[in-house]
Amino acid sequence: MTDTKLPTEFDVRPVTTVIGAEIHGVDLRAPLEPVVVAEIEKALLRWKVLFFRDQHITQDQQVAFARNFGELTPAHPVHAGLDGHPEIYSVEAKQLKVSKAQVTERPRYASPRSTQTGWHTDITFVPNPALGSILRGVVIPTHGGDTMWSNLVAAYEDLSAPIRDLIDRLQAVHRWHDYDGLPPRSDLDPDAPPPSAVHPVVRVHPVSGERALFVNPTFTRYVVGLNDRENRAVLDLLYAQMARPEFTVRFRWEPDSLVFWDNRATAHVGPIDLGREPLDRVVQRVTLVGDLPVGPDGFRSHALTGDLFR
């Protein structure tokens, strides 16, 4: 009979009081007992982003770990995965540097300052953004290349009641903008319009019931029904709110680090120091199939162009 007790070494160590915890006493090279999976899910729900250190795992083991928590998506809605691992999305620092310099379309109403930060929630340009993302450090520089995450529940709850009442009823259009330097998926029609979706500006978490901001300066284009001036005011307010330091945690990568975050309640940015000096940095990500976001008023996300991502 399977032992249902947690390993005595299992330990959740919060990094801040608002977001982020390190998980110790778990070896991700081996299959996980259901009780361990349940505790990791519980910690993820509470702390939004989990950090695992010194996990000397292979790509197969990263995929196996992720499958404990749901169905995996292909690597990316637009870009190709690795040969032999179509569910793994590999990102190199040199590719990120090219992409940020050659964005062909910026968020429609976001200020240039907001746009440059790179804050985003993964693949919100599809109607069912990922449930969660699991990112592994493959090649890590001796310094630089950190990633930051923001707790979008805390950011929402800090807003005044009148602003919360306003944004609870709003929806926004999210759309992909093409980056150069990353390999495209061979099965996509090059003449098709970029994928896009309309989402509630505030998302109700399907498990916790918490409300979270659900806009980001990378993929959100505009709020439906607002004029240009109103869009700039509302989105700049929300972008500044989500990036406030008191809602964030910063992670110093090491080789064989692995990070698991709840994509339904967080935004992230990284690395933020590209261009200062050359970085040799490679990270590889897998993502979990997500559901359709639902707003406080019952509005359910839907595609404008493209399909569900799974």
- Average pLDDT of the residues in 79-84: 92
pLDDT the model gives residue 104: 36
Q: Note whether 72 and 66 are within 8 A (CB).
A: yes
In terms of Cα–Cα distance, which of 47, 177, 34 is closest to 104? Answer: 177
Task: Report pLDDT digits (tens) over 193-226.
Answer: 889 999 999 999 999 999 999 999 999 999 999 9
58 burial level (CB within 10 Å; 0-12, 13-18, 19+) = exposed
- 278, 96 Cβ separation under 8 angstroms: no
Question: Would the CA dihedral through 117, 123, 128, 134 be positive or negative?
Answer: negative
Higher pLDDT among residues 250 and 96, named by residue:
250
What length does the chain have? 310
- Consecutive H or E run containing 58: none
Dihedrals phi, psi of 203, to nearest 5 degrees: -110, 135
Using the 8-state DSSP alphabet, how is residue 59 labeled?
H
State the Cα–Cα distance between residues 269 and 53, nearest whole angstrom. 20
Say what the pLDDT of residue 270 is: 87
Q: Which residues contact 298 (CB under 8 A, 6 or more apart)?
A: none
Instruction: Check residue 113 and give its pLDDT.
Output: 39
Rounded distance, CA 308 to CA 310, Å?
A: 6
Residues annotated as catalytic (active site), given as ranges: 120, 122, 268, 285
- The pLDDT confidence band at residue 116, using thresholds 50, 70 and 90, is very low
pLDDT in tens, 9-63: 899 999 999 999 999 999 999 999 999 999 999 999 999 999 999 999 999 999 9
Per-residue exposure over 245-271, b if at least 16 CB sit within 10 Å of its own CB, e if not:
eebbbebebeebbbbbbbbbbbbbbbb
- The Cα 38–Cα 18 span in angstroms is 21
CATH of domain 11-305: 3.60.130.10
Q: Is 172 or 108 the better-scoring residue by pLDDT?
A: 172
Confidence of residue 278 (pLDDT cuts 50, 70, 90): confident
